Structure 1
Amino acid sequence: MITTVGAKAAARREGDTAPTLGPGELLKGPFTGRALRQQGYLLVSFVAAFVQVLVLTVTLALGGALVVLVVGLPLLLAGLVSLRWNSRRERLRILRLTGERVPEPYREPGPSGNPLQRLLGHLSDPATWRDLVHLVVASGLGLGWFLVAVGSWVLPLGAVTLPFWYTALPEHRIPLMHVNGSEYYISTLPSILAFSAVTLAFVWLVNPTLLELGTRTQTGLGRALLGLSRLELDRRETALRTTRSQAVSAAEAERRRIERDLHDGAQQRLVALAMDLGRAKSKLKTGDEADSEAAAQLVAEAHEGVKLALSELRDLARGIHPAVLTDRGLDAALSALAGRSPIPVEVDADLPWRPSPEVESAAYFVASEALANMAKHAHATRAWIELEIREDHLRMIVGDNGVGGAQTDPGGGLDGLSDRIAPLDGILSVSSPLGGPTQIIMEMPCPNPSAS
């Protein structure tokens, strides 16, 4: 069975909007937990849309009238910011009611710059106009659903209390209709009780269906207009396919590298070690003094081989995920990496919080491979690593003062680094003019865990 995260969250929340709804649920009346949440959602959505229409009308009217003055632009900007804020609140209401997250489609979470630049940033974003269309349609439909939600309480309350106050009406009767000049009404207590019972039964049976219809209409409208467009969904699907392919390629390249290092390094040393120990064992069996001395020499050489094999295995482990990275974080791991580099490396790290393990591992891999390539090809006398978190993005620069000329060729080492960070929405750029310096710049999203 395949299901979505939103569906799982909705299924865990008793009485929430579900993919299917049987008649038994609709017969439970307008006062179940499910119906009460739907009433609250419809009421708040309509009131919020009504207030937002007023705010937007006032700010746009005043801003347009005063646009030639300095205060006009801030008023226009305030109206668009309030529109985006209202749309975000509607997405949050949909999430709380259905468990389904509606992703934000904005190009920028908040355009920056002076008021004119921010205003143009909002106006140039297609999602802003979709927010406006949603506001107009939702406020129009919301009036009907508002009446349904209010009627969920007014009609049953009136039906139950009608026998106690109908005598206060003119002529103690309730007019029903006029047909061909004749007036039909009810005025006796039995007819009043029957009318109350019919009204209560009608509300009890019909109102839950209307609430369900209103909720699904409003949430469907929000998903359609406040979420990602079809073009954006297609673009993200293509990007996900690409990054998935890059992740597979990076994992396969890493596997081949580990196999190669094990085969060419530690494995060869362990084979030689086994052969030396076998020869030493044969010489010891003879009991000859000369053979015993030769066996001792072979054992000493095997001991050195064991130390070299252990050193190579430790280096291999450091290249994958060193223990210091787990224990002390990225800045300490990079400092240890710089200490082992044949080129003097300066590390300047400014990390107000610790990145996630995935981000730390990817950044360490990029720095390790970059320093290894610099040691082989750059002919540099100095290198540096700059690390900082700015606007919830980890930015790392690995540079050297070598000969330059590094290029990102398909299938090359730098292209492999790009594949390594692409699944984390990372970006890698290379600046390496002939004559140097070379700078490998990496950026990855790195949100503050305390803010989530």
Structure 2
Amino acid sequence: MGSRAGAGRTARSGAPEVGPGVLLRGPFTGRALRQQGYLLASFLQAFPLLLAMIITVSVGSALLLVVAGLPVLLLAMVLLRAFSQRARRRILDLTGEQVPTPYRTARPKGKLGPRLLAYVTDPATWRDLVHLLLAAALGLAWFVIVVVTWAMVLGSVSVPFWYRYLPHHRIPVTHMNGSEFYVSTLPAVLAYAGIGFLFAWFVGPVLLELATRAQTGIGRGLLGLTRPELDRREEDLRTTRRQAVSAAEAERRRIERDLHDGAQQRLVALAMDLGMAKSKLKSGNEADSEAAARLVAEAHEGVKLALTELRDLARGIHPAVLTDRGLDAALSALAGRSPIPVEVDGGLPGRPSPEVESAAYFVASEALANMAKHSQASRAWIDLGYRAGSLRMIVGDNGVGGAEANAGGGLAGLGDRIAPLDGILSVSSPVGGPTQIIMEIPCEIPSVS
């Protein structure tokens, strides 16, 4: 269903060549009407914003010495970025092509000064400004093209009705060698109207297509990513993919190790015990029967222990409470099973996506497991919260410290686990403690978005 809708959209809003079918329908095709709306909106939005930018930048610069100019200049930057984002959406709606956002920070946070500095030092902001200038300047030409096209069409259709009100009931055509050429009879007026109508009817779509391609080309070139930025993002994607593969491989090795050292060894011993019990039962001796009963009882206990270990292993991968009740409850259950007393603080206003919940739970589970093995801590804590569009979790302990996120180590594996989600993991662990593992994953939570 989704692929069919996508295909329909591509066919409807793509950029086909101007062929006979389009020309015969003139400026009344759906594409031509969308192009006219796009070109008019480019000018009608760019020109007022350019005037507003000139006023706000001038006033803000004049008031900058008394600090009052900071919010004015910041307002200008916000308006400029909003206009550029709207221009990207218009290109997407018209052509079906997504223009990637090139900003270093989509919405800078903090105090006025650092926020303004973040806007000004971002090269994409200056490309936005150049785009605004071109959209306002060239937009006048696009406006004229649209208005003239419709003026010629409507004027040609209506000229037989109003030419009689002109002086001498005639329409001047041109002057040549001191002579004036005009049309005044009804057949000549109808022929003149027909020529004008056909010219506008066939040439209008071509002009609209050229103007639209010029405007969208400028938008893609200035509002999208530059070649170095595309190369950098491609390298980031390669790195993220390698990290995802490394995290999956490390998880597979951990599961194999846990199975081999725990449940598998116990099941092998269980099979041996049952085999011995079977042999003793065949002998028919009372002593062998009692020994067989003891072996069966031990095997029964082994089965329960093996089930417990398999259940714990499954819980470590993705516990049922995480699916049923969310990350808050899963972390509380994890803290209850830890050999170190763990205090869980904070909470989330809603539930993030299952991928984010699973990654955060994995980080907390592995961090607490490492702390239990190496930290010599008497207590640990988990702080969970959601701020500025990111899920933030701190797992800490009061142990001996000295933990490092070395390549190939467990902590580096935690970073690889959240990297595909654009997550960031940092470790603070001075010698003597405390140790803090800080994780941030950008995400949306429905109840606050």
What amino acid is aligned across from residue 299 of structure 1 in structure 2? Answer: V
Distance 2:113 2:346 in 1: 36
Partner of 1:304: 301
Distance 2:4 2:226 in 1: 21
Partner of 2:74: 77
Partner of 2:440: 443
Structure 2 length-normalised TM: 0.94
Q: Residue 262 of structure 1 is aligned with which of 239, 252, 259?
A: 259
**In the superposition, relative to structure 1, how do residues 168 and 109 fare at CA in structure 2: closer, same or farther (>3 Å)?**
same
Q: Deviations over 1:294-344 (max 9, x none)?
A: 211111111111111101101110111111110000111111111111111
Q: Deviations over 1:11-34 (max 9, x none)?
A: 426632336564423432111222
How far off is 1:282 after superposition?
2.3
Deviates more, 1:92-101 or 1:337-346: 92-101
Deviates more, 1:408-417 or 1:168-177: 168-177
Q: Where does the alignment leave 5 or more consecutive residues of structure 2 unmatched?
A: none
Are 2:47 and 1:44 aligned? Answer: no
Verify the 8 A CA contact 1:431 1:438 in the aligned structure 2: yes
Partner of 2:224: 227
Verify the 8 A CA contact 1:10 1:17 in the aligned structure 2: no
Deviates more, 1:18-27 or 1:164-173: 18-27
Distance 2:384 2:303 in 1: 37
Aligned-residue CA RMSD in angstroms?
2.1
How far off is 1:372 after superposition?
0.6
How far off is 1:67 after superposition?
3.9
**In the superposition, relative to structure 1, how do residues 450 and 92 fare at CA in structure 2: closer, same or farther (>3 Å)?**
farther
Distance 1:446 1:353 in 2: 11
Distance 2:440 2:238 in 1: 21
Give aligned-pair identity as a percent. 71
Are 2:99 and 1:107 aligned? Answer: no
Distance 1:435 1:137 in 2: 60
Q: Deviations over 1:126-164 (max 9, x none)?
A: 111111110111222221211222234222111111101
How far off is 1:9 after superposition?
4.2
Q: Deviations over 1:97-142 (max 9, x none)?
A: 2232322222223334444443333222211111111011122222
Distance 2:192 2:448 in 1: 56
Q: Residue 347 of structure 1 is aligned with which of 344, 348, 352?
A: 344
Are 2:395 and 1:363 aligned? Answer: no
Are 2:129 and 1:132 aligned? Answer: yes
Partner of 2:314: 317
Distance 1:254 1:326 in 2: 20
Distance 1:386 1:344 in 2: 14
Q: Residue 13 of structure 2 is aligned with which of 16, 27, 48?
A: 16
Q: How does 1:201-220 map to 2 (within 5 A)?
A: 201-220=198-217
**In the superposition, relative to structure 1, how do residues 429 and 11 fare at CA in structure 2: closer, same or farther (>3 Å)?**
same
Q: Residue 141 of structure 2 is aligned with which of 136, 139, 144?
A: 144
Are 2:164 and 1:185 aligned? Answer: no
Distance 1:372 1:227 in 2: 44
Partner of 2:389: 392
Distance 1:86 1:437 in 2: 47
What amino acid is aligned across from residue 285 of structure 2 in structure 1? Answer: D
Verify the 8 A CA contact 2:27 2:204 in the aligned structure 1: yes
**In the superposition, relative to structure 1, how do residues 224 and 11 fare at CA in structure 2: closer, same or farther (>3 Å)?**
farther
Distance 2:4 2:131 in 1: 24
SS in 2 for 1:15: helix
Q: Deviations over 1:389-411 (max 9, x none)?
A: 11111111111111111111111
Partner of 2:156: 159
**In the superposition, relative to structure 1, how do residues 20 and 256 fare at CA in structure 2: closer, same or farther (>3 Å)?**
farther
How far off is 1:172 after superposition?
1.5
Partner of 2:412: 415
SS in 2 for 1:29: helix
Distance 2:194 2:177 in 1: 28
Q: Deviations over 1:168-192 (max 9, x none)?
A: 1122122222222222221111111
**In the superposition, relative to structure 1, how do residues 118 and 408 fare at CA in structure 2: closer, same or farther (>3 Å)?**
closer
Deviates more, 1:225-234 or 1:359-368: 225-234
Are 2:191 and 1:194 aligned? Answer: yes
What amino acid is aligned across from residue 219 of structure 1 in structure 2? Answer: T
Verify the 8 A CA contact 1:249 1:419 in the aligned structure 2: yes
Aligned residues: 448
**In the superposition, relative to structure 1, how do residues 264 and 333 fare at CA in structure 2: closer, same or farther (>3 Å)?**
same
**In the superposition, relative to structure 1, how do residues 177 and 387 fare at CA in structure 2: closer, same or farther (>3 Å)?**
same
Distance 1:68 1:311 in 2: 70
Distance 1:116 1:329 in 2: 39
Structure 1 length-normalised TM: 0.94
**In the superposition, relative to structure 1, how do residues 71 and 345 fare at CA in structure 2: closer, same or farther (>3 Å)?**
closer
How far off is 1:228 after superposition?
2.0
How far off is 1:62 after superposition?
3.1
Q: How does 1:89-104 map to 2 (within 5 A)?
A: 89-104=86-101
Verify the 8 A CA contact 1:27 1:208 in the aligned structure 2: no
SS in 1 for 2:172: strand
Q: How does 1:230-241 map to 2 (within 5 A)?
A: 230-241=227-238
What amino acid is aligned across from residue 95 of structure 2 in structure 1? Answer: T
SS in 2 for 1:388: strand
